[in-house]
Amino acid sequence: MPSLKNKITVLLMAPTIIFTTTNCVNTNKSTSTNTTTPPTVSTPEPAKPNPLLATWEGPYGGVPPFDKVEIPFFKPALEAAMAENLAEIDKIANNAAAPTFGNTLEAMERAGETLDRVQTIYGIWGSTMNNPEFQNVQREMAPKLAAFSDKITQNEALFRRIEAVYNSPEKARLTPEQQRLAWRYYTNFVRAGAKLDATAKARLSQINQQLAGLFTRFSQNVLADETDQVLVLKSEAELAGLPQSLRDAAAAAATTKNMPGAWVITNTRSSVDPFLTYSDRRELREKAWRMFVNRGDNGGSHDNNTIITEILQLRAERAKLLGYPTHAHWRLENAMAKTPERAVELMEAVWKPAVKRVGEEVADMQALAKKEGANIKIEPWDYRYYAEKVRKAKYDLDQNEVKQYLQLEKLREGMFWVAGELLNFNFTQVTNVPVYHPDVRVWEVKDKTNGQHVGLWYFDAFARAGKRSGAWMNAYRSQQRLDKNITTIVSNNSNFVKGKAGEPTLISWDDANTLFHEFGHALHGLSSNVTYPSLSGTAVVRDYVEFPSQLLEHWLSTPEVLQRFAVHYQTGKPIPQNLVQRIEKAATFNEGFETVEYLASALVDMKLHLAGDQKIDPDAFEKQTLQELGMPAQIVMRHRTPQFLHVFGSDGYSAGYYSYLWSDVLTADAYGAFVEAGGPYDKAVAQRLRQHIFSVGNTIDPAEGYRSFRGRDPKTEALMRKRGFLTPGTKTRKAVPAGGKRKAQ
Closest to 154 measured CA to CA, from 183, 191, 119, 184: 191
CA 23 vs. chain centroid, Å, equals 42
Give kind and range of the element (H or E) at residue 363: helix 340-371
φ and ψ of 462, to 5 deg? -115, 150
> What one-character DSSP code corresponds to residue 13?
B
The C-alpha atoms of residue 231 and residue 246 are separated, in whole angstroms, by 14
- Structure-derived torsion over alpha carbons of residues 110, 111, 117, 120, reported in degrees to the nearest 10: -100
What angle, 0 to 180 degrees and rounded to 10, lies between the N-to-C axes of helices 509-526 and 408-423? Answer: 40
436 contacts 69 by C-beta, under 8 angstroms: yes
- Contacts of 251-255 with C-beta under 8 Å, sequence gap 24+, read 251/500, 252/497, 252/498, 252/499, 252/500, 252/501, 253/497
φ and ψ of 441, to 5 deg? -125, 160
Q: Nearest 5°: CA angle at 346, between 343 and 349?
A: 145
409 contacts 443 by C-beta, under 8 angstroms: no
| Strand pairing class (453-462; 488-496) | parallel
Closest to 139 measured CA to CA, from 152, 121, 148, 126: 126
Residues with a catalytic annotation lie at 518
Give kind and range of the element (H or E) at residue 493: strand 488-496
Burial call 241-272: b when 16+ CB within 10 Å, e when fewer:
ebbebbbbbbbbbbeeeebeebbbbbbbbbbb
Closest to 645 measured CA to CA, from 264, 324, 224: 224
- Helical H segments across 461-557, by residue range: 509-526, 542-552
> What residues contact residue 698 under an 8 Å CB cut-off, 6+ apart?
180, 184, 534, 535, 536, 539, 540, 541
> What one-character DSSP code corresponds to residue 78?
H
- Structure-derived torsion over alpha carbons of residues 282, 283, 289, 294, reported in degrees to the nearest 10: 160
- Maximum distance among all alpha carbons in the chain? 108
Write the CA distances from 376 to 236, 279, 368, 371, 593, integer angstroms.
Answer: 25, 16, 11, 11, 19
The C-alpha atoms of residue 609 and residue 582 are separated, in whole angstroms, by 42
The DSSP string of 212-241 is: HHHHHHHHHHHHHHHHH-EEEE-SGGGGTT
Strand order in the sheet with 425-430: 425-430, 441-447, 453-462, 488-496, 472-477
Closest to 706 measured CA to CA, from 719, 691, 724, 727: 691
Closest to 542 measured CA to CA, from 651, 700, 667: 651
- Helical H segments across 372-426, by residue range: 380-395, 399-403, 408-423
The C-alpha atoms of residue 458 and residue 427 are separated, in whole angstroms, by 11
Which residues face 645 on adjacent strands?
none
| Strand pairing class (453-462; 441-447) | antiparallel
The DSSP string of 62-74 is: ----GGG--GGGH
Is the torsion defined by CA of 422, 424, 430, 436 positive or negative? negative
Q: Nearest 5°: CA angle at 548, between 542 and 549?
A: 85
